[in-house]
Structure 1
Amino acid sequence: MSGLAPNAAQPVEIQLHQLSKVLEIAFDDGARFELPCEYLRVHSPSAEVRGHGVGQEKLQTGKKHVGIVALEPMGHYALKITFDDGHDSGLYSWTYLYELGAKRDQYWQQYLDKLAAAGASRE
């Protein structure tokens, strides 16, 4: 990972807002991020999404209305997220969640650009 989160950055609050489909996460260094379910789903750290190496990523389409049905802490290092489309194989480390929050605008725009280039849709 990029090392954006200080080594000690740990979540102090995690809230799932079902209606707005947003996961809100606050870290002990004062950072607070609102991460839409769709954003988390299309940036899943799973091999199903990322592939097994550079260039093997699989563009996720049609995830605009995806929601989260379960959150399960994995030890003191990660969160397992189960989405309502059945996807549940990615473990989101605290560092990765911090990175997704800190770089949300950049990563989201890259995703939209990839969709456009592929002629694909969020719907």
Structure 2
Amino acid sequence: MSRPMPTELNLHRQSRVLEVAFDDGNKFSLPCEFLRVYSPSAEVQGHTPDQRVLQVGKEAVNIERIEPVGNYAVALHFDDGHNTGIYSWETLYTMGANYDEMWQEYLSELEAAGKERKADS
């Protein structure tokens, strides 16, 4: 079975949303904040699950630049200086398909840490 490949990648800077369409017909709208707090970088994810670093204060983060990485991924350069995560097509697809569950997990992690999201800017 072949993995879905992206057919379109559009950054909406004003709404801070990255839209990704795939060749299987799925299209996902991924907020920049979500992409930033779930960055696949070691800086965020750590090298083991217990090393994952909870990201806070990323409500207004935006993507400055999208850089292709071979034919399998993109590097997202965020305006807070973070640029070490490589988002494979599979990662973006998984994030899109599991957005609701992942977002709720993030909100629960914030609450457990005694943190709050600021109102969207």
Distance in structure 2 (CA, Å) of the matches to 1:112 and 1:101: 17
Unaligned stretches of 5+ in structure 1?
Answer: 1-5
Q: Aligned to 2:13, which of 12, 18, 22?
A: 18
Distance in structure 1 (CA, Å) of the matches to 2:87 and 2:21: 15
Q: Give 3-state SS (helix, strand or coil) of 1:66's partner.
A: coil
Q: Aligned to 1:61, which of 46, 56, 63?
A: 56
Q: Aligned to 2:84, which of 86, 89, 93?
A: 89
Q: Aligned to 2:68, which of 62, 69, 73?
A: 73
Amino acid at match of 2:73: A
Give the corresponding residue for 2:22.
27
Q: Aligned to 2:114, which of 109, 115, 119?
A: 119
**Across the two proteins, how many residue pairs are aligned to each other?**
118
How big is the shift at 1:28?
Answer: 0.5
1:106 aligns with 2:118: no
Moved over 6 A (4+): none
Amino acid at match of 2:89: W
Amino acid at match of 2:24: D
Distance in structure 2 (CA, Å) of the matches to 1:121 and 1:66: 16
**Greater relative contact order structure (CA < 8 Å, 6+ sep):** 1
Q: Give 3-state SS (helix, strand or coil) of 1:112's partner.
A: helix
Distance in structure 1 (CA, Å) of the matches to 2:6 and 2:33: 21
Distance in structure 2 (CA, Å) of the matches to 1:57 and 1:85: 19
How big is the shift at 1:122?
Answer: 2.6
Distance in structure 2 (CA, Å) of the matches to 1:42 and 1:7: 28
Give the corresponding residue for 1:3.
none
TM-score, normalised relative to structure 2:
0.95
Distance in structure 2 (CA, Å) of the matches to 1:54 and 1:41: 17
How big is the shift at 1:42?
Answer: 0.2
> Superposition RMSD on alpha carbons, in Å?
0.9
